[in-house]
Amino acid sequence: MNAAPALEVKRLSIKFGDFTAVDDVSFAVNQGEIFGFLGANGAGKTTTIRMLCGLLTPTSGSALVGGLGFGDGGLGIKKIVGYMSQKFTLYNDLTVGENLDFAAGLRKLAPAFAKKRRHELFELIGFNKPLSSKVSQLPGGIKQELALAAAMLHDPEIIFLDEPTSGVAPASRARFWGLIRRITGLGKTVIVTTHYMDEAEQCGRIALMRTGRLIALGSPEELKRSAFPGPMAELDFKGAEPKPFISALEKAAGLLELSPHGMRWHAAFADKAAMDAALAGLPPSAAAALIQPSLEDVFIRLVEGAER
């Protein structure tokens, strides 16, 4: 495996009229990595991915995808990447075989090669239904795995997945992520967007996007550490009225973040001393426990916090 990055993005921006959809984004993705994009709807995740797949030409900046740039209008990039878009990418009214034949035709694959790949991919995703099954009659999770197989038919080194598991049952989601890990295990690079936190946790590194800008980048652990250098406590009021205490807590010195999580509250502090001081006035019935911040906390702090 060579050390050159699979993807290298420098100061990439795209504008649609006056609207800057992606604003000065730079990052690099290593080979064999699972690289996640996390962000709210409209944060620019899909637009970034569509540029990196050669579907959109950036207004400024540059990117090397598998060593190729945008010089040829994205055609070279399209050849070497696989892309599964947010919307459903298979034809419901065609059979599995017909869908894959069409995908092979789109990429001008030789029939023998396409057939070989089909067998390999069916094995990879564990698909054992007949080729003549109509796509519309398959369960959602299997459809999604087949869509992935279709996107990988030409054996791309880099695979882009745009919210691959939206609308899929939780069990199938877990299965799909197992599949992603197996693919990177083969040395492929997977770039994936999601808004499920549990999925983001499974990425090697995450790029956090907000209104077109890249606001944080790192492994889940790194993101947590940089967002929350101090301790975090989970407060459980156990039926006591939290309001008076919370409004006092909001003014406490050294408080980094305070957010409700269901019935409980997460409070992050700059350091232990600040935490002890702030939690001194906790009602007797309530309890505070030291916890590890989750990616959701990071997300709230970095994305929503920036909007406040």
Partner 1 sequence: MKRTLLAFIRKELIQTLRDVRMRVLLFGAPVIQLTIFGLALSTEIKNINLAVISGPGDAMFGRVAEGFYASGWFKRVIYGSEAPFELIASGRADAVLIAPAGGLARSAARGDGRMQLLVDATNLTKARAVEAYARNIISAAAAREYGARAEPALKFDVRVLYNPAMESSMFLVPGVMGMLVCLITIILTAMSLAREREVGTFETIVSAPLSDAEVLLGKTVPYVLLGVMDAALVVAAGYLIFGVPVRGPLWQLALASLALVITTVSIGTFISTIARNQQQAMLGGFMFLFPAILMSGIMYPVENMPGAIIAAAYLDPLMYFVRLLRNIMLKGGDLHVLWTNLGALALMALVAAGAAYKRFKQTLN
Q: Which of residues 132-151 bind partner 1 (CB under 8 A)?
A: 150-151
Structure tokens of 272?
């232990």
Q: Which stretch binds partner 1 (CB under 8 A): 1-9, 25-33, 96-104, 287-295?
A: 96-104
Are 41 and 211 in contact, with CB atoms under 8 Å apart? no
Q: Does 70 bind partner 1 (CB under 8 A)?
A: no
Please report which helix (H) or strand (E) contains residue 208, including its range.
Answer: strand 205-210
Of the residues 28, 40, 94, 270, which one makes contact with partner 1 according to CB under 8 A: 94
Q: Does 170 bind partner 1 (CB under 8 A)?
A: no
Cα 270 from chain centre: 28
Site string for partner 1, 1-40 (x = CB under 8 A): ----------------------------------------
Give least dist CB 245 to partner 1, A.
49
Q: Does 113 bind partner 1 (CB under 8 A)?
A: no
Give least dist CB 104 to partner 1, A.
7
Of the residues 9, 31, 33, 78, which one makes contact with partner 1 according to CB under 8 A: 78
Of the residues 9, 45, 51, 101, which one makes contact with partner 1 according to CB under 8 A: 101
Of the residues 89, 189, 193, 194, which one makes contact with partner 1 according to CB under 8 A: 89
Please report which helix (H) or strand (E) contains residue 260, including its range.
Answer: strand 255-261
Alpha-carbon gap, residue 151 to 166, rounded angstroms: 17
Q: Does 131 bind partner 1 (CB under 8 A)?
A: no
Of the residues 54, 66, 164, 220, which one makes contact with partner 1 according to CB under 8 A: 54
Of the residues 91, 123, 140, 226, which one makes contact with partner 1 according to CB under 8 A: 91
What is the bridge-based pairing of β-strands 81-84 and 158-162? parallel
Q: Which stretch binds partner 1 (CB under 8 A): 37-45, 106-114, 216-224, 282-290?
A: 106-114
Taking the least distance from each CB to partner 1, the nearer of 135 and 200 is 135
Of the residues 47, 85, 144, 189, which one makes contact with partner 1 according to CB under 8 A: 85
Q: Does 130 bind partner 1 (CB under 8 A)?
A: no
Taking the least distance from each CB to partner 1, the nearer of 89 and 165 is 89
Secondary structure string (H, E, C) spanning 27-82: EEECCCCEEEEEECCCCCHHHHHHHHCCCCCCCEEEEEECCECCCCCCHHHHHHEE
Considering only CA atoms, which of 202, 220, 195 is closest in space to residue 292?
220
Of the residues 98, 198, 222, 236, which one makes contact with partner 1 according to CB under 8 A: 98
Which ranges constitute the DSSP H helices of the chain? 45-52, 75-80, 96-106, 111-125, 140-151, 170-185, 197-200, 220-227, 243-249, 272-279, 295-299, 305-307
CB-count exposure of residue 286 (10 Å: 0-12, 13-18, 19+): middle
Polymer length of the chain: 308
Q: Is 103 helix (H, G, I), strand (E, B) or coil?
A: helix
Q: Does 83 bind partner 1 (CB under 8 A)?
A: yes
Alpha-carbon gap, residue 94 to 102, rounded angstroms: 10
How far is CA 89 from each of CA 83, 84, 172, 224, 296, rounded to the nearest angstrom?
Answer: 10, 7, 18, 35, 29
Q: Does 276 bind partner 1 (CB under 8 A)?
A: no
Residues making contact with partner 1 (CB under 8 A): 53-57, 75-76, 78-79, 83, 85-94, 98, 101-109, 150-151
